[in-house]
Amino acid sequence: MPAPIQTADLSPLFTPFDLGPLKLRNRFVMAPMTREFSLNGVPGPDVAAYYSRRAAAGVGLIITEGTYIDHPAAGDSIDVPQIFGDTALDGWRAVVDGVHAAGGAIIPQLWHRGGRRAPGTGPKPEVPSISPSGVSYDKIPAARAASLADIEEIVASYARAAGTAQNLDFDGIELHGAHGYLIDQFLWERTNQRTDAYGGDPAGRARFAVEVITACREATSPDFPISFRLSNWKAGDYNAALAPTAEQLAALLHPIAEAGVDIFHVSTRRFFEPAFEGSPLTLAGWVRKLTGLPTIAVGSVGLDGDLWTAYTDGGRAKTTSMDGIIDRFRGNEFDLVAVGRALLSDPQWVAKIERGAFDELHSFAAEDRHILH
């Protein structure tokens, strides 16, 4: 396969970036990708090696795969890592130490699946799943609507996870507020039909996210970086829209930004697609413009097929030019760029990009998700 044609100077992506006290050596982020290799929720030596290999090859910031908080209804897989329990925390210490020794930085993505947790699954199958208002979505059965006591309990669970992350010497945290999971379910009008203070207008629908951020900020030092991942689309549904207009997006984002977020991780199908009709700005660009905060762009970076196409349409995606990403970066639409499947297939991806070895880049195959390299 011929190497993708590269005409742009990619050196700006190899400049440092400061996220509060966190000094990143370049603008490349490893995106979180669920692999289910942490048996019984414990990241083992193979997981530590997996992350440290990518740090050693030049990734500036690693965001771990989604990691379950200690709320009993958080997850539906026993092999997704958890950020509680002595054995799991010992495993995470080895992960963090390995990444730091390789010169990288790492933050865990804190995850609660909410109503997307299938009933009767996960580490606590007897516990019913929880959603904002008991509304089913995308063939997922309706989960129990969260009570005020449930909300308080889940917020506290996030805060414990954040404090634990700092104690483990992680460099920050990311809150998974995208893709139709619990925080996003509160944000989205379709899955949040509550009539109390946690529903209704954008400020009400953002209240749960705000309380989670506030609690995490209180559980950590004032300058401990907090990333918030958001998306318009939902898992398996690229036509869904959290905010169909820039005005609606602003109404959701402002209270979240004011609560203490340091950076937004903006997930899209394709990083280069305009977010709203009548403007060339991407979603990452709009978030940056509306909040004044830095953003991470992600979505089909370095590959010609989007996430779901790669898994359903032959399971393949070929490497493609990086010219588009540098153009958007120079246009100040985002500050960092997250790479997912390309880094999953090729631990050396960033190092190869840096030295211009585009002919050595690997294409992506769906089965790469299950390999250990």
Looking at residue 360, what is its pLDDT? 80
Among residues 51, 181, 238, 311, which one is catalytic? 181
Residue 264 lies in a domain: yes
DSSP, collapsed to helix, strand or coil, labels residue 92 as helix
The structural domain count of the chain equals: 1
Looking at residue 325, what is its pLDDT? 84
Mean predicted lDDT score pLDDT of the chain: 89
Lowest mean pLDDT among 63-72, 99-108, 273-282: 273-282
SS3 per-residue string spanning 276-308:
CCCCCCEHHHHHHHHHCCCEEEECCCCECCCHH
pLDDT band at residue 340 under the 50/70/90 scheme: confident
The average pLDDT across 196-212 equals 98
Most confident of 47-56, 291-300, 333-342: 47-56
Round to whole Å and give the CA distance between 143 and 123: 17
Q: What does the pLDDT look like over 53-85, one tens digit per residue? A: 999 999 999 999 999 999 999 999 999 999 999
State the residue range of the domain holding 104: 11-370
pLDDT score of 3 more than 70: no
Residue 6 lies in a domain: no
Q: Tell me the backbone φ, ψ of residue 164, rounded to 5 degrees.
A: -65, -40
DSSP, collapsed to helix, strand or coil, labels residue 94 as helix
The average pLDDT across 238-245 equals 87
Q: Encode burial over 127-146: b for 16+ CB neighbours within 10 A, e otherwise.
A: bebbbbbebebeebeebbeb
Residue 295 lies in a domain: yes
Most confident of 64-73, 117-126, 324-333: 64-73
The average pLDDT across 102-111 equals 98
Looking at residue 7, what is its pLDDT? 62
Looking at residue 9, what is its pLDDT? 84
Looking at residue 317, what is its pLDDT? 46
Residue 5 lies in a domain: no
Lowest mean pLDDT among 70-79, 134-143, 196-205, 247-256: 134-143
Concatenated DSSP letters for 46-72? HHHHHHHHHHHTT-SEEEEEEEE-S-T
Structure tokens at 79: 């092999």
Per the model's pLDDT, the better-predicted residue between 309 and 12 turns out to be 12
CA 307 to chain centre: 14
For residue 181, indicate whether it is catalytic: yes
Residue 298 lies in a domain: yes
CA 318 to chain centre: 23
Residue 66 lies in a domain: yes
Percent of the chain predicted with pLDDT > 70: 88
Helices (H) and strands (E) in the chain, counts: 12, 14
The average pLDDT across 350-368 equals 74
> In this structure, what CATH number is given to the domain that contains residue 66?
3.20.20.70
Residue 3 lies in a domain: no
The average pLDDT across 278-298 equals 95
Task: Give the predicted TM-score (pTM) of the model.
Answer: 0.92
Q: What does the pLDDT look like over 145-184, one tens digit per residue? A: 999 999 999 999 999 999 999 999 999 999 999 999 999 9
pLDDT score of 359 more than 70: yes
Residue 138 lies in a domain: yes
Any idea of the CA torsion for 160, 166, 171, 175, to the nearest 10 degrees?
Answer: 10
Lowest mean pLDDT among 103-112, 141-150, 167-176, 217-226: 141-150
pLDDT score of 326 more than 90: no
Contact 216, 175 (CB under 8 A): yes
DSSP, collapsed to helix, strand or coil, labels residue 341 as helix
pLDDT score of 45 more than 90: yes
Element of type H or E holding 161: helix 148-167
Q: What does the pLDDT look like over 298-324, one tens digit per residue? A: 986 755 444 445 445 544 445 566 767
